[in-house]
Amino acid sequence: MHFDIKKSSKKPLYQQIIESIEEALIAGKLLPGEKLPSERELSHFFSVNRSTVVRAMDELHERRLIIRKVGSGTYINPQKWGQFSKPRLQWNGALNKEIFQHPVKYNLTNGDLPTELYPSLQLPEIDWQLLLEAEREQESMRLGTIDLREAVQRYLQRSHQWNVPIEEIMITSGTQQALSLIALGLLKSGDSIAIENPSYFYSLSIFQALGIRIYGIPMDREGIIISKLDQLLHKHRIKMIFINPVFHNPTGRVISLKRKELLISYCHRKQLPIVEDDAYGQLKFYNYIDNTPLKMASKGDNIFYLGSLSKYLGRSIRIGWMIAPRSIIENLANIRQQLDSGLSSLPQYMAQHYLDHYASRHEVELQRTLKIKADQFTNWLDYNLSDLFNYERPQGGFHLFAELKMERSQKEIEKRLLDLEIRGIEDSYFGGDGLAYRFSFPHFSSPQ
């Protein structure tokens, strides 16, 4: 590290230390999650009294720019909410690669569906000439094939009794492409967005790459807290919010009906667009759970709905869909056309066949199998780790969120998990404070 502290300046030394660390974080000299030297080492580095460093560190801690882990040290807060004012993209990834070096019995870090739960798709004979002709059609290349868009229509009608106009449906090659198009087409460098805290959106590099500022909305058991969203909106001029309201990643929570109504009403009143990612909506374990999309419940046009097959078919068929006002769809489709010349027809054909002939049965089978795995894993936690974590039995989706009952040293937690041969992902990867873990129970195999 190299920072300039000017003792001749009228500005207090502790404030200069604070500003130096802030500037180093924005410039990329310090990375989110990076460990800082000890206070004694920093006092020697800056050539100031240790009490000056302590005062600076206390203020940085109060502002959540740094976090202190008992028995481990002081770290740059990996949340990095709102810190990046310049476009920036890191390819090394936020997830610590060291966790994959040693195999364990229960590796529950993978957020995808295990391959053994994929459906056995039997495709009818393919007329390749028809597929090639579909790729020559301008409308199919821009918005997706009409056959798949109509299959999505039928699927939403069957699953939610939701009638969606065909002109409001655009096929995407998965949720990530939809998010990229929204960021490219509707946001610009320096804009501020809000996401749930914690949230998997935080780990996506697209927002950082475009210089978009990210702010976290605190959550409770019912979903994002509207009063906190209101504070963010006025303080940071939030342009859009991105949420995963049903079986949220990483907490597994479902937004309550009351909170859903408040959120829709608030955002409609403020004309604040919502991007709703419904990745796990059909994977509910109990009929009483309300998995109705926000967009379906809203009468306004300010909600963009993202659906995907990736949590049902894995990464083998990257197909999703966006539902938004026609003008938005047309704009984003044109942007995609300029970037990658459109979509391939083969995966669209496979997705159409799945939606029309397999989806209903496969979703029921997934609900049954995943509930068994969730119950088995919860029982395993009850027996092995109930003294360390608080958690709730999953009601659907892929994830169980385990929160520490009391602050423990990182070494103590890691040793405990290693002794039991289990691995999850610390919530700091999702912008949390490092006091919880996400365990993806679809990969849990009950001990014999």
Top pLDDT among 350 and 227 is at 227
pLDDT > 90: percent of the chain? 55
- In DSSP terms, 360 is beta-bridged to none
| CA atoms in the 13 A half-sphere facing the CB of 145 | 22
Q: What distance in Å separates the CA atoms of residue 243 and residue 251, rounded to the nearest whole number?
A: 12
Specify the range with the lowest mean pLDDT, choosing from 73-87, 211-225, 253-267, 388-402: 73-87
Cα–Cα distance measured from residue 102 to residue 230, given in angstroms and rounded to the nearest whole number: 44
Cα distance between residue 28 and residue 209, in whole Å: 13
Q: Is the pLDDT of residue 89 over 50?
A: no
The token duo for 332 is: 């984003």
Per-residue pLDDT at 141 exceeds 80: no
Q: Read off the pTM.
A: 0.80
CA dihedral 296, 297, 301, 302 (to 10 degrees): -110
Distance CA 22, CA 15 (A): 10
* 300/153 Cα distance (integer angstroms): 19
Q: CA–CA separation, 223 vs 229, rounded Å?
A: 11
Tens digits of per-residue pLDDT, 54-65? 888 888 887 777
Q: Among 33-47, 338-352, 396-410, name the one with the lowest average pLDDT.
A: 338-352
C-beta of residue 353 within 8 angstroms of C-beta of residue 121: yes
Using H for helix, E for strand and C for coil, what is the string for the chain?
A: CCCCCCCCCCCCHHHHHHHHHHHHHHHCCCCCCCECCCHHHHHHHHCCCHHHHHHHHHHHHHCCCEEEECCCEEEECCCCCCCCCCCCCCCCCCCCHHHHCCCCCEECCCCCCCHHHCCCCCCCCCCHHHHHHHHHCHHHHHHCCHHHHHHHHHHHHHHHCCCCCHHHEEEECCHHHHHHHHHHHHCCCCCEEEEEECCHHHHCCHHHHCCCEEEEEEEECCEECHHHHHHHHHHHCEEEEEECCECCCCCCCECCHHHHHHHHHHHHHHCCCEEEECCCCCCECCCCCCCCCHHHHCCCCCEEEEEECHHHHHHHCCCEEEECCHHHHHHHHHHHHHHHCCCCHHHHHHHHHHHHHCHHHHHHHHHHHHHHHHHHHHHHHHHHCCCCEECCCCCECCEEEEEECCCCCHHHHHHHHHHCCEECEEHHHHCCCCCEEEEEHHHCCCCC
Q: From CA 197, how far away is CA 251, in angstroms rounded?
A: 10
Length of the chain: 448
For the segment 261-304, what is each residue's pLDDT rounded down to a tens digit?
Answer: 999 999 999 999 999 999 999 999 999 999 999 999 888 899 99
Reply yes or no on whether the pLDDT at 339 is more than 90.
no
Determine how many CB atoms are found less than 10 A away from the CB of residue 308.
24
Per-residue model confidence (pLDDT) at position 132 = 67
Compute the average pLDDT of residues 352-374: 96
- Residue 95: band (very low, low, confident or very high) from pLDDT cuts 50, 70, 90: very low
Q: Can you tell me the distance from the alpha carbon of 69 to that of 393, in angstroms, rounded to the nearest whole number? A: 28
Where is mean pLDDT largest: 67-76, 134-143, 202-211, 365-374? Answer: 365-374
b/e string for 377-396 if b means 16 or more Cβ within 10 A? bbebbeeebeebbebeebbb
